[in-house]
Amino acid sequence: METWDVVIVGGGPAGLSAAIYAPRAGMRTLVLERALPGGQLLETPAIENYPGFVEPISGFELADKMRSQAERLGAEFRTAEATALVRADGVWEVRAGGDVFRARAVIAATGARPRELPALGAQEHVGRGVSYCAVCDGFFFRDKAVLVVGGGDGAFTEALHLSHLARRVYLAVHRPRGDPQAVRAKAALQEKVFSDPRIEVLWGVEVAEVRGEQGVESVLLRDVTSGAERPLPVDGVFVKIGWKPNTDWLKGAVPLTDAGYVRTDPLMRTEAPGLFAAGDVREPATRRAQAVVAASEGALAALSAEGYNRAF
């Protein structure tokens, strides 16, 4: 069985960036992706903040360009979903169904997926008014009314970002006002949100339904205490109720946080020798879920894998 210098698991911006840097460092590189390369980029119709593109570029087109660049440099791609990672005879074995891929180094770049809004019509309106990233899509809601759902740092940060763009920002917090567990955001973020006249906090409510024909036109809010429902006219819904990292395949190979993320040092090295991680699969800490951030981490992971291979 052939042994690759590095196997990159995941084809989002972190994995694709690693796939560009790894072959340039002389490593035989294989990328495993369960679907089309691109990850969450594929859900973004227009990206305006990726360096080097004067005009907006679709997430699909950006991912396609990154893959083509990686292939030109020598990276190979296979469609496969990793199910386990095992250390055997001094190398890693990435198991994907009935296939096994051996590698001296592995870069985990399988990302994380946002926890979906459990409301009627929410899934159908993704990309048509329902978004999981205000930095990505907030610009399209200039001078409009939007609703942010969540009570943590992410939701409060999204609300503040949108308050500079939207005409009105509503922030739906699930727990009632006065509940000590209602808000998990840092005190500094709370102070900014509560003092911003463009943000209105809606306490003790949940989104029961997202409504609209061509796009979002309103949401149906339900009071979590009384069960009473009322419509709220909005043009967009931004969801920040948590993330779920795609790390089931890493269980047993490296310690994970309680939330399932991978811990790394600043050079993307994990506790396990020859195993690196980049992108949204890493412990969040202070990182932002942005393509350019993931790409930089993918480059660092590849460079660290190069150093590991040299000492192998």
Number of Cβ within a 10 Å radius of residue 129: 26
Interatomic CA distance for residues 164 and 142, integer angstroms = 9
Task: Dump pLDDT digits (tens) for 247-297.
Answer: 999 999 999 999 899 999 999 999 999 999 999 999 875 566 788 999 999
Of all helices (H) and strands (E), which one includes residue 137? helix 134-137
Token match 């009314």: residue? 145
- If one counts every other C-beta atom within 10 angstroms of the C-beta of residue 172, the result is 24
At residue 55, what are phi and psi to the nearest 5 degrees? Answer: -95, 155
Q: Is 265 a catalytic residue?
A: no
Residue 100 host element (H or E): strand 99-108
- Which listed residue (64, 99, 137, 196) is catalytic? 137
Position 286 scores a pLDDT of: 57
How far is Cα 173 from Cα 99, in angstroms, rounded to an integer?
Answer: 45
Residues 254 and 275 sit within 8 Å (Cβ to Cβ): yes
Active-site residue (options: 5, 89, 136, 223): 136
pTM (two decimals): 0.74
What pLDDT digit, counting tens, does each position of 81-118 carry?
A: 999 999 998 999 999 988 999 999 999 999 988 889 99
Distance CA 3, CA 80 (A): 17
Q: Which residue of the set 64, 89, 99, 133 is catalytic?
A: 133
pLDDT at residue 133, rounded to an integer: 87
Q: Which residues of 274-305 are buried (b: 16+ CB within 10 A; e: fewer)?
A: bbbbbbbbbebeeeebbbebbbbbbbbbbbbb
Identify the CA nearest to 179 among candidates 205, 144, 153: 205
**Is residue 196 annotated as part of the catalytic site, yes or no?**
no
